[in-house]
Amino acid sequence: MKEKIKIYTGGGDHGMTSLVGGVRVSKTHPRLEAYGTIDELNSFIGLLLVEIDGTRMATLLQTLQQDLFTLSAYLATDTEKTTLKPNSLITAEHIRTLEQSIDALDGELPALREFILPQGCRSAALAHVSRTVCRRAERAIYRLNESFPVDESVLIYINRLSDLLFVIARYELFINRIDQKTWSKV
């Protein structure tokens, strides 16, 4: 029987933590900001998951959660000091899956002609919150990229993911027969 993993180690009690491979860095390191924001995004997607109906959307959201763990593992690895594990790679296939999901869901929606407000029903609002956290994660990843090169697939993936979350929000309104509220330009 496997030994139970201890929840606390005390290793981070003084503002330092370990990356994948054991490299120690400050808890204020841009790498932690990036993967910490991805963790927050994953949690919001989990909350969205409990609010939605339907196997199709549940399967998609669970896939996104798996992808975000892969992305976190990538971001938590200093590739200059530690060999990246193969299961920590975001690939062209991950991006293609996002794009196919965007196209499939968007294909069922009416044309978008105006800016919409992030509201309508709980699932749509949670998708919008997830989208905005995703955009914050994207900014954190680009800040990381300024000092520590980030693979282009990661940059593309996170950009597509926010697009998908926007489409999911619109889709949730559509299937719940709730009109999109638009921005009133004054």
Q: What would the pLDDT profile of 129-167 be if each residue is shown by its tens digit?
A: 999 999 999 999 999 999 999 999 999 999 999 999 999
> Burial, 143: exposed, middle or buried (Cβ in 10 Å; 0-12, 13-18, 19+)?
middle
Greatest alpha-carbon pair distance for the chain in Å reads 66
Query: Pick the residue with more confidence: 170 or 53?
Result: 170
Write down the pTM of the prediction.
Answer: 0.87
Mean pLDDT of the 28-39 span: 88
Check whether 186 has a pLDDT greater than 60. no
* Pair of tokens at residue 51: 């609010």
Average pLDDT over residues 119-134: 94
Strand runs labelled E in 69-126: none
Sign of the four-CA dihedral 43, 12, 82, 144? positive
Determine the pLDDT at residue 85: 81
* Residue 175, amino acid: I
E strand segments, the chain: 16-18, 24-26
Rounded Cα distance between 61 and 105, Å, is: 13
Which DSSP category does 175 fall into?
H
φ/ψ of residue 24, rounded to 5: -95, 135
Instruction: Please report which confidence band the pLDDT of residue 17 belongs to, taking 50, 70 and 90 as the band edges.
Output: low
* For residues 32-46, average pLDDT: 95
State yes or no: pLDDT of 181 exceeds 60: yes
